[in-house]
Chain A
Amino acid sequence: MHTFSTLCFALVFAQVSAPKESPSEAPDGANAHWFTDVTASALPGVTIECGSPDKDWILEVNGGGVGLADLDRDGDLDLVVVGGGDVAAYRADAPAPSPRVFLNRGDGTFEPGGDAWVIAPAVTAGFGAGLALGDFTGDGWIDLVTTGLGADRVFRNEGGRGFVELAPLPRSEGWTTSAAFLDYDHDGRLDLVVTGYLVPELDEARRRAARWKGQPVMVGPEGLVPLHDRLYRGRGDGEFEDVSVAAGFRPEVAGYGLGVITLDEDRDGWVDLYVSNDSTPNHLWHNRGDGTFEERGFRLGVSHDAAGREQAGMGLAVDDDAGLVFVTNFSGESNALYARTPSGRAFRERSARMGLAGPSLAQLGWGTGFGDLDLDGDQDLFVLNGHVYPAADAPGTDARYAQPNQLFERVGDEFRARPLEAGGPRVSRAGVLGDLDRDGDLDLVATEVNGPVRILRNDAPRAPDAHWLIVRPRGADGSPAAIGALVELRCVHTRADGTTSEATSRRELRSAGGFQASAPLEAHFGIAAGPVGSVLGVTVEVRWPGRPPTVLANVTLDQVLFVDVPERAQSAAPKKAGSGR
């Protein structure tokens, strides 16, 4: 073995300390924080408690979930908080904390939903984890599914007057984490995928029985039994049938599923699925269009890092415009940014080339998302961080338990670090973007483990004369038709020399928020233009899966544009296996 071959493993697998982030060259004002914590006025006193501070068990480290949707159809985004638990209570057969609903007052501040929205505790002991928000009954009201240890609960929205619990999802024991709605078979009814993490253990003999850098830490996920993810076919009435095996949604070996996102990877009109697995390869499930799925993660290059190593895999985000898939990972691993190759056949891991590798090595990332935060026409990126081991604060670990959340501004072909918020490091987990105060930019809801649910108002420096547009589907069966729809915005500008140019941006509609989060089912665009007069025209085209497209010309900017979902065409004929890319 050659002497200098000592380098390669070390240099690929970094252990961490707080890195010195190279300050990016930035225009004036770039050091201003992009988000302001307004929790004290917007959502005071709401926390997620998840086990003891010592984190003796893996059950205590993932935290809860958060979702945004217009539950009462008053035009603004309401909030659902899920999750947490206590090991002692769980051992005493106590149920997990109930999901909590907070209604938006219309200005980005929230109030508890009132008696009608109070959700009763579960009948079984458990821990809460994630959620999915979507209209699975097709009555136009957003319903709810929650995940966790104990039971995956199903709630029907009673016309904006509260949730009524239905029968739980059929499943065996274990700990589920994230969930996502989609209509995988184009039958007009919402289906559901739920990621399975593991079967937790609470054997006292194994309390903090593992070692990390010489420190005693919780056991897992390695050494614990992984849980298969599940695909449920919706019947349209709140009942779901487990079709995992029949649909081929079953790898040979279960992964430790943490995050899930929907994406039409090959743009064939059939929504695919990407699942992030902890310490095992990530899965990209290609929807064949005939009711079955095929796992293609390895061949597409989105299962491992650039060196072929498995990573932790927590949060997920997709930039449909740029063809990027982003995955947050453990400390000592850089977050992964998979970029589609020019040929379109596969992806390459580009975190290093695009400036995201170095800054992420010290951090342990969770909730994440792309969004045009400064309305300059491209998608920026937030990452919520926090370690899993309190022992990270011990000397010599090169890590910290509480970590800074991160923001990266997209500048050309790279990302540059920007200050997300004032204040010190935190132990963050799930998060989701949404325009909470209806001012056209994307605000952030960030959760913590054993900490508050925070509302972060977007105060990013905007591009000069920036504009925005939110496209929101509307219709009785909006959700099934909308998920996977591609919204394309075409903006014609005049240049200074009098010529015209056209800029096109694309967003795929999805409510999956990656890690234990549910996002608003809408497409947000930022448009960097000169004076409004220089924008000659804006056209919005929505290509619905299995439905005729909608084209709207001469769209006015700076509004929420409701687009009616067209009637379903004749049922889409199943594709032959292997068609599409």
Chain B
Amino acid sequence: MSALDGVARRVGAVSVARVLSCWFLGCWFLGCVLTLGLAPVAHAARQSEAAQAESPRATAIPSEARLARTMAELPRAEAGAWVGWHAAPVPPLYLAALEAYRAEDLMRTWNLVCDTLERAPDHPAALSLAGGVAFRLRRYGDTVVAFERFLVHAPEEVARTRHLGHAYHSLGRHDEARVHYERVLAAPDLESKARQEARLGHALACYRGGDSDAARRDLDGLLELNPGDSEVLTWRATVAFDDEELALAITLAERAASRAPFDPRPVYLLARARGELLAILDEDFAGLPQDDAGRVRDVELTAEREALRAAVVRDETRFAQLAAIDVRSRELEAELTLTPGNHAARRELARLNSAIGDSHGALKQAAYLARTAAEDGESQLVVLELLVAHGRPESATAHATLLEAAFDEDPSVLERLALFYAERGDLQSRLRVGARAAQLRAREAQLRARETGPRARKPEQTAR
């Protein structure tokens, strides 16, 4: 993104020479945009992972009337209109859309990119950006339209359209998803990570389309390249479980769970698969010889059975814990996709991550709050809380210092800071901050007394 900033500054700085060098800059810039401008799409894909995992039911997201435009309403360009589009001038609105996208303001991005396409119908870069934003906004119909149009005008760019496959898949159009992924995978300029993503998409489209054999082949191939990928491991475990390969499902799900300890899906598979193994063992047990006390004589099998039973209980408990949090987390992540400035939602998400021990997730949200909610005392206190909880004492101390300065007129924040210092054993800081808080409280009390004092005296005067 910093490269994009540099490009934008350079473009803005060109004056008279711009006319002469426009075509050169245009080529170069659009080349950057093609890579970097589409980088937001890849970035969007990564960021959208959680957003896509939302519950389909209602969540508390403020409405945005200007999201009413759809891709289908936007004008079309004639075939061939964008031949050589790399050399065309970059629409200023498109640059504004990129800026908004960089600022994570998806709704503004959507409106600006729609504005761009109103004025420059089917501008390929704008279509690509529109497709990426629509995908992040979970508007899969618009995603399809955007990328399908993009491919009409830039068919050579198919390598960059794997999100079209994702959108088909999300709409239940598994056959089309499969075909498109195959098209993407056949592109000669497909970079490695995109290839893996497309291949996983192909695997899932095959699986959801009922072709488990093809899914298995894809997933096994991906695991050969990257044996530790938790997503692929989870899906391969799912297919194995579907095929009643319980031992394989358990092995794969264990590996997935070790790499993604807060993902409920592998834990679900472990609980189910182990539960079925336990049922088999229980059946075997029923026919075994027993001693006079009714205990099965095979000590080893008894121990194995008890260990498996304990594992099942542990898995079921852990799954219930993760699943409950997962549902709420997805709702919050969906909310934050549309309203990234919803600090209350982000605080709740951070605390949920913290509750299940997801330090990475908790601190990621904390970092976002620290950066974007600097004026919100409650959010900054949560940041402090998380830094302490997740083993960042030096960062916590530095943050507390910042809070003391930034909120030196807010007694509630200072009081919480005093507690922080008390827990740290820092008496001097506690006393300093506590004194300041007390001073502010006293001042508040005086103000309140002044406001209510004359009115309080009136009844006495009346009584006299």
Contact = CB atoms under 8 A, between A and B. Distances in A.
Interface in A339-362: 341-343, 345-346, 348, 352-355, 357-362
Interface string A543-554: 000000000000
Interface stretch (A75-83, A171-179, A390-398, A468-476): A390-398
A358 B268 contact: no
Interface string A216-256: 11110010000000000000000000000000000000000
Given A9-B50, A19-B171, A353-B212, A4 B244 contact: no
Nearest to B277: A345
Contacts of A345: 276, 279-280
A331 B400 CA distance: 46
16 contacts: A4-B196, A6-B46, A7-B204, A9-B53, A11-B166, A11-B205, A11-B208, A15-B140, A211-B59, A211-B63, A214-B67, A306-B242, A332-B56, A352-B208, A355-B210, A358-B208
B231 A2 contact: yes
Nearest to A219: B58
Given A3-B196, A396-B67, A211 B172 contact: no
Contacts of A355: 210
Contact of B316 (A3, A298, A360, A398): A298
B416 interface: no
Interface stretch (A87-95, A283-291, A307-315, A558-566): A307-315
Contacts of B275: 298-299, 346
A215 B63 contact: yes
B52 interface: yes
Given A214-B62, A214-B67, 14 more contacts: A2-B193, A3-B45, A4-B231, A6-B46, A6-B48, A6-B197, A8-B204, A10-B135, A16-B140, A214-B338, A298-B271, A395-B67, A398-B139, A398-B140
Nearest to A364: B56
Given A298-B316, A308-B264, A395-B70, A10 B58 contact: no
A15 B138 contact: yes
B17 interface: no
Contacts of B207: 352
A414 B210 contact: yes
B327 interface: yes
A573 interface: no
Interface in A286-334: 298-299, 301, 304, 306-310, 312, 330-334
A5 B264 contact: no
A205 interface: no
Nearest to A216: B63
A137 interface: no
A357 B172 contact: yes
B201 interface: yes
Contact of B141 (A17, A212, A215): A17
A306 B238 contact: yes
B250 interface: no
B69 interface: yes
Contacts of B135: 10
A22 interface: yes
B29 to A, nearest CB: 25
Interface of A: 1-17, 19-20, 22, 209-219, 222, 279, 298-299, 301, 304, 306-310, 312, 330-334, 341-343, 345-346, 348, 352-355, 357-362, 389, 394-396, 398, 414
A241 to B, nearest CB: 32
Given A210-B58, A346-B276, A22 B175 contact: yes
Nearest to B141: A17
Contact of A11 (B46, B67, B169): B169
Contacts of B242: 306, 348, 353
B57 interface: yes
Q: Which of B210, B226, B280 has the most CB of A within 10 A?
A: B210
Given A16-B172, A19-B172, A299-B275, A343 B244 contact: yes
A360 B172 contact: yes
A4 B46 CA distance: 8
Nearest to B234: A8
A396 B139 contact: yes
Interface string B260-294: 00001101110110011001100000000000000
A398 B141 contact: yes
Interface in B273-328: 275-276, 279-280, 316, 319, 323, 327
Given A20-B176, A354-B210, A213 B52 contact: no
A10 B166 contact: yes
A15 B204 contact: no
A14 B48 contact: no
Contacts of A212: 57-59
B44 to A, nearest CB: 9
Q: Which of B194, B238, B271, B338 has the most CB of A within 10 A?
A: B238
Q: Which of B46, B138, B226 has the most CB of A within 10 A?
A: B138
Contacts of B269: 308
Nearest to A306: B238
Nearest to B205: A11
A14 B197 contact: no
Nearest to B198: A4
Contacts of A334: 172
Given A2-B226, A308-B269, A210 B60 contact: yes
A222 to B, nearest CB: 6
Contacts of B280: 343, 345
B46 A1 contact: yes
Contact of B57 (A10, A214, A312, A396): A312
Nearest to B338: A214
B171 A362 contact: yes
A330 B268 contact: no
A2 B194 CA distance: 11
Interface in B9-64: 42, 45-46, 48-50, 52-64
A190 to B, nearest CB: 33
A352 B210 contact: yes
B165 to A, nearest CB: 9
Interface in B195-225: 196-201, 204-205, 207-210, 212
Nearest to A348: B242
Contacts of B50: 9
A1 B49 contact: yes
Nearest to B191: A3
B375 interface: no
A211 B208 contact: no
Interface in B426-440: none
B230 interface: yes
Interface in B62-82: 62-64, 67-70
A192 to B, nearest CB: 30
A366 to B, nearest CB: 16
